Structure 1
């Protein structure tokens, strides 16, 4: 069969590869013949990967060390790692979910992804109202350095980690769209995936706990069907967006939620993620 996805022999870098959506994506990449460099704070044991590299995305020095171990050039980057903010503070959550991704993108991906390559990040359906909250995070997105971003994050004051999750994912979607033209000059595509509720990930139990249990959580966030997605569902979307099959797709935030966002957009469902940093 023709290699329609085009991963065979390609060098792929993925964060959050030890569990959940990251692990599922890593497994698919290996099966498709990619040379996979798996980054995570926890050890990645997926058979067939080229290399596991330990990284703490909350620390700039750890990111720099990890990228020193990677090939000078690679073809595809998957930014999957993230935290829920339900057991972490606002600052830590925002750093891991957004600041690290922006830093990696601008310092490393801008000059190390091969011409014709691809980049995808995992955002969230919690970010669907990103346009309405742009004033809350635009200054952070436009910051030039890690230290400047951290200073602005700290200036938000005492906010919950859960709000940090929502705001960081909104920032990630916005940032992904803003960098499309600069990467297009080297024929590199940039997209994001926004999953709805996904079962069997490292964060699922935390979301259940926050919402008062599995049943209450699912009642709030299910799409058009009454069941949760699986890590493989999100992995499939990531694999597609970074593949040759999507060679004319860039700047897209793909909702993987079985119509949940669509239902919100036409008033068939309440948006439970419309939280704001600024309280009236």
Structure 2
């Protein structure tokens, strides 16, 4: 059996957002090696390997997203939505975090859904930071229900308590969206799968930004995060490939019967949290 046939992406059109660095870049590179025609969005710098097309754009605004969509092929087999930004100190760009890290994911998915082939796939990069989605499910569903970029922006402005949650609330919304949409008529009628990976501590080009968002200092922030997430199991940071490669696989035919799932890739951190919560006295 040819391994490329198992993945089922040879000669297929796929979109990878955030392909210029980190997990998105790792996924895009693997997808090219699997024979896919990769349309890669980039923001800060171009990818350094051959893809079918590079699309420079900023996915934090509707205009930027629409520019990207206009350069995306009319037929797609899979989309991998990997872009994102970190919080800044004091959440000064909280609105931008929400629009970039969640609403653009929803907007891109729903704009491209008619172009995705039957039995195709949508895969998000989320985070284990979104694990407490149950606490905010009502608010998540409200923003999911916003039909336009303008109405979403208005909702965020009217709910500063949620936008102040920055990155975490956006990831919670991603989790709820994946689970809500997996058997939604628009997806299930054409057997289009939707899943997300939820990475744990991963070294990427944004690592210093994320670390600094904790307390304003990247080095101190890293120490805080390592004490919280890595020290309990004497763990290590993951590489971008350890997230990008599974993501590429999830959107392939290898996972043709999986939809609506949040795949935690965090060396058991989320499972440990779950068990602690269930067994605490």
Q: Is the 8 A contact 1:13 1:37 kept in 2?
A: yes
Moved more, 221-230 or 116-125: 221-230
Say which of 254, 258, 270 aligns to 1:245: 254
Report how far residue 2 of structure 1 moved. Answer: 3.4
Unaligned runs of 5+ residues in structure 2 are none
Could you say which residue in structure 2 is the equivalent of 1:43? Answer: 45
Distance 2:189 2:234 in 1: 40
Decide which structure has greater helix share. Answer: 2
Could you say which residue in structure 1 is the equivalent of 2:145? Answer: 142
Q: 1:225 to 1:245 in 2, by over 3 A?
A: farther
Cα RMSD (Å): 1.9
Normalised by the length of structure 1, the TM-score is 0.89
Deviation digits for residues 178-204 of structure 1, max 9, x if unmatched? 1112312112110011111101x1221
Deviation digits for residues 52-90 of structure 1, max 9, x if unmatched? 101211211221121111110111100000111135511
Trace 1:177-216 onto structure 2 (pairs within 5 A).
177-181=179-183, 182=185, 183-199=187-203, 201-209=204-212, 210=214, 212-216=220-224
1:221 pairs with 2:217:
no
Trace 1:101-140 onto structure 2 (pairs within 5 A).
101-108=105-112, 110-140=113-143
1:93 pairs with 2:97:
yes
Report how far residue 140 of structure 1 moved. Answer: 0.9
Distance 2:210 2:76 in 1: 34
Could you say which residue in structure 1 is the equivalent of 2:83? Answer: 81
Paired residues, number: 266
Could you say which residue in structure 2 is the equivalent of 1:168? Answer: 170
Deviation digits for residues 154-212 of structure 1, max 9, x if unmatched? 11237776x2100011001101111112312112110011111101x122112333262
Counterpart secondary structure, 1:267: helix
Q: Is the 8 A contact 1:224 1:259 kept in 2?
A: no
Normalised by the length of structure 2, the TM-score is 0.89
Moved more, 149-158 or 234-243: 149-158
Could you say which residue in structure 1 is the equivalent of 2:3? Answer: 2
Distance 1:121 1:95 in 2: 15
Distance 2:22 2:178 in 1: 22
1:22 pairs with 2:4:
no
Counterpart secondary structure, 1:29: helix
Unaligned runs of 5+ residues in structure 1 are 269-280
Distance 1:133 1:62 in 2: 29
Moved more, 170-179 or 210-219: 210-219
Could you say which residue in structure 2 is the equivalent of 1:275? Answer: none
Q: Is the 8 A contact 1:26 1:46 kept in 2?
A: no
Distance 2:44 2:255 in 1: 31
